[in-house]
Amino acid sequence: MAQFALTDDVSTLRQTANRSLLADALQDGRLVQEVVVDPSGYFKVEHVEWGKYWSNSLVGMSDQVWSDLNSLRTVWQAYCDSGYDLALASPYCYRYFELLRLALVGNLGRSFLEALAGFEVFPIRRFYSSGVEAAGVITVRHPAYLLAKLRKPAAPDDPKYLPMVYLPLTGSAPASGGLYYHYRQLKFDSRHNASVLVYPAAELGRRLDSFGCIDVFSSILRSKPDPRGRQRAAAIADCAVGPFLKRRGATAGKVWGDEISIADLGGGTGILLSHLCKRLLTRFPDALGGRAFAWSIIDLSTRDPARHTTGQLLRWGCKILSVN
């Protein structure tokens, strides 16, 4: 049965309810089949029974494959029922990779191999879209991700442990499958220390739809900004923008304008650019020469980035030229 929420305004209360719906998947004895989202706050989690997930890929398989798959189900179920006790993650990961090895060396067919590669990876789409736009993974459930946690149990969630995932191709929407690369991490359940990792399509032609879908997915789950925003802004300022401004300022006879214009494509909430400007103001004041920043933010998001320019360092220095 599908689980869903519907609201006219994505309030903090609704975001909490949506996270609870996703957290319910941790208690469900089935795999996540699909997540459907909408800017209104609509959030639906579809599930699929274990047997149905594998059914189309097991035609003609040997008794050994059936036995190994049943063994995987046993340890997977035990791990989930335990509340994701890492002590039970080891046999789960072992059985999964043993089955993957068998599929690779035994030439068990593309369909079965794709089902294994896409195991515990779920598609994400917007309500009005008929095709898959992004992919998602729950950290405590994916066997490949868990390998790093087995090695370092105290390590915080980190997308580097699973930088790319695969969704099987489907007959109804063949362009929906393929590779997806990591883009964002969202914490959604503190009881099990679970995060959801979201992935846009690696295929360039589908990437715009992916980012639009992920923006909706993220905004109706939580309002917390990118946890690595300051780190990324510092790297961009220290390694690229700051040195560039210093070199330009040292050019003999160079005439500067009154502003430093910055165009931010896919600027989102504007928080990354806000951190960037603050870093430039504190680390490269001489290179700025007392000039103000003029922002031009281009994004599909409707969220107003002006709220990130009200800090003491930026109040005098920034203005929004356009938000498209």
Q: What is the pLDDT of residues 273-312, one digit of tens each?
A: 888 888 888 888 888 877 777 777 766 554 555 555 555 4
List, for residues 55-111, the tens digit of each pLDDT value. Answer: 888 887 888 888 999 999 999 999 999 999 999 999 999 999 999 998 888 878 888
Q: Give every CB contact of residue 92 below 8 A, 6+ residues apart in sequence.
A: 72, 75, 76, 78, 79, 143, 146
Q: Give every CB contact of residue 50 below 8 A, 6+ residues apart in sequence.
A: 30, 31, 73
Range with top average pLDDT, 130-139, 250-259, 287-296: 130-139
Residue 316 scores a pLDDT above 50: no
Of the chain, the end-to-end C-alpha distance in Å amounts to: 39
> What's the chain's length in residues?
324
**How many angstroms from the chain centroid is the CA of residue 231?**
18
Residue 137 scores a pLDDT above 90: yes
Check if the beta carbon of residue 225 is closer than 8 Å to that of residue 271: yes
Exposure string over 224-263, b if 16+ CB within 10 A, otherwise e: eebeebbeebbebbeeebbeebeeeeeeeeeeeeeebebe
Residue 172 is predicted with a pLDDT of 46
Which of 182-191, 228-237, 281-290, 296-305 is predicted least confidently? Answer: 296-305
What does pTM read for this prediction? 0.73
Residues 312 and 308: their CA atoms lie apart, in Å, by 11
